Amino acid sequence: MVAAGLARVDDIPANSLQRVFRGQRISICIVEPPDKLLDAEAGHFRIVYEDPWLIVIDKPAGIVVHPVGDFQSGALTNALQQHLDSQTAARGLLRAGIVHRLDRMTSGLMVVTKEHQVHRLLSLDFPEGRLAKSYVALVEGCVPFDERTIDLPIGQHPGGRSVLMSARSDASGRRPARTKVTVLERRQRITLVECRLYTGRNHQIRVHLAEIGHPVLGDEFYGPQGAIRCMPREESAPRAASRHALHAARLGFRHPLLDAWLEFQSVPPAEFFTSTPNSGPRASELQSVD
């Protein structure tokens, strides 16, 4: 605002380097911040449900939700903007409101809003757990239990210079995290599980499964018992081309305006069951699973 000439000291335009002193009169013209409109780009995603207020999509693996770091184009929000622009007379009249995110290499269901009130109401419901959200995952090893609730706080990995998370006691900013894990099928050296989220911490499923010794198959970073396989070079460093075997399969929530419970399901794509880059078991051992 100072650089834009909107701040004055004793009725003289201020500059960002000057100091102010007792007795001086400061005036600031309050204006709306610049309105950043994302570039509309062609992209691939499947529309599961759409109405005038929100849209539920099936996100493919391999794309980020928002432009970030090295990924300044090709984001999901760029593709959504093109879809929304096709519904209005002028560009940018509708914006994609992201209520929750999926990791770049995670596929599956997401709800995105088209207007502010619905975005605000859904954003309040998600942290409070007033929804049903579950994932399917292929994990390393034969899981010994049929059902278990993992209740381990999650924070930023010790060191604070990485986007990685941790359930270690010395992780910074730890917050409660709870995941219910149910075994769906066991095959040789891998297990298909369903994970029900009761909280929404970053990388929650991946961290919890790795902490109990059964990391998600193909996970580039999280290894057994909380080990880190490798550290990202930087927050936005490109990851391996192959995906990890995690898919947002079910999503249920109450529509903020229609007051109706909506629930959706998504079957993992074919590449979910293909082999992964890690040296452990091959996901193709479970290709026959429906």
Instruction: Please name the amino acid found at residue 230.
Output: C
Residue in the structure block whose two tokens are 């992780």: 171
The full 3-state SS of 61-123, as one line of letters, equals CCCCCCCECCECCCCHHHHHHHHHHCCCCCCCCCCCEECCCCCCCCEEEEEEECCHHHHHHHH
Is 103 a residue of the active site?
yes
* Rounded-to-integer distance, Cα 54 and Cα 111, Å: 7
The active-site residue, picked from 11, 39, 51, 103, is 103
The rounded distance, in Å, linking the Cα atoms of 234 and 5 is: 36
207: left (phi over 0), alpha (psi -120 to 50) or beta: alpha
Q: How far is CA 140 from the centre of its chain?
A: 23
Asked if residue 154 lies in contact with residue 166, where contact means CB atoms within 8 angstroms, the answer is: yes
Q: What helix, strand, coil percent values describe the chain, rounded to 5?
A: 15, 30, 55
Contact at 8 Å (CB) between 56 and 50? yes
- Give me the amino acid identity at 156: Q
Q: Report strand pairing: 107-113 vs 246-254.
A: parallel
Q: Is the CA virtual torsion 272, 278, 281, 282 positive or negative?
A: positive
Q: What is the largest CA-CA distance in the chain?
A: 78
Active-site amino acid positions: 103
